[in-house]
Amino acid sequence: MGAIQETTREKVNRLEDALRSVPQVDCPIRHHFAPGIYAREITIPKGTVLTGAVHKQESLVVLSAGRLRLVTDDGTVEISAPYTLTCKAGAKNAALALEDSVWTNFFATEETDQDKLVELLTESKASDLLGGDTNQQLAANKAAEITEA
């Protein structure tokens, strides 16, 4: 009998577990809205290893700046801006930023509440994202909400 091969999702989940033990990197996120469209833009510093949330729907992705080594179900590929791809629903991906990079996911939705968007579009809850309450992204989002109020 052959060994059961580990799926990409299982490998990325193991990587994500390992990343929980290292300091979190601040990857600023900007949210953009137009009728029927939500764009989530993340700036990724060079040298950052990150994992993505599992999305419930297919989305378009644009790498508008930088260069990434991307691990997907289709294998590992190096991509350089400008680059456009489709992110499959149910995929769990990981990346290494080879240069400072800007990655934007585009989703079809009318929702604008950030916590609701996480639950609507991903298999996560806002509080479940990598690092939980110690996640610098979540802390920055909460600080921005306080300053905007």
Please indicate, yes or no, if residue 70 is contained in any of the structural domains.
Answer: yes
Please indicate, yes or no, if residue 29 is contained in any of the structural domains.
Answer: yes
Domain range for 86: 8-148
Q: pLDDT by residue for the chain (149 residues), tens digit each?
A: 455 667 766 666 676 776 677 777 899 999 999 999 999 999 999 999 988 888 899 999 999 999 999 988 888 999 999 999 999 998 888 899 999 999 999 999 999 998 899 889 988 755 555 444 544 444 444 444 433 43
**What pTM did the predictor assign?**
0.74
| Cis ω before 28 (30° cut-off from 0) | no
Amino acid at position 3, single letter: A
- Indicate which CATH number applies to the domain containing 41: 2.60.120.10
Please indicate, yes or no, if residue 47 is contained in any of the structural domains.
Answer: yes
**8-state DSSP, 110:** -
Please indicate, yes or no, if residue 52 is contained in any of the structural domains.
Answer: yes
Please indicate, yes or no, if residue 3 is contained in any of the structural domains.
Answer: no
Q: Is the Cβ–Cβ distance between 46 and 99 less than 8 Å?
A: yes
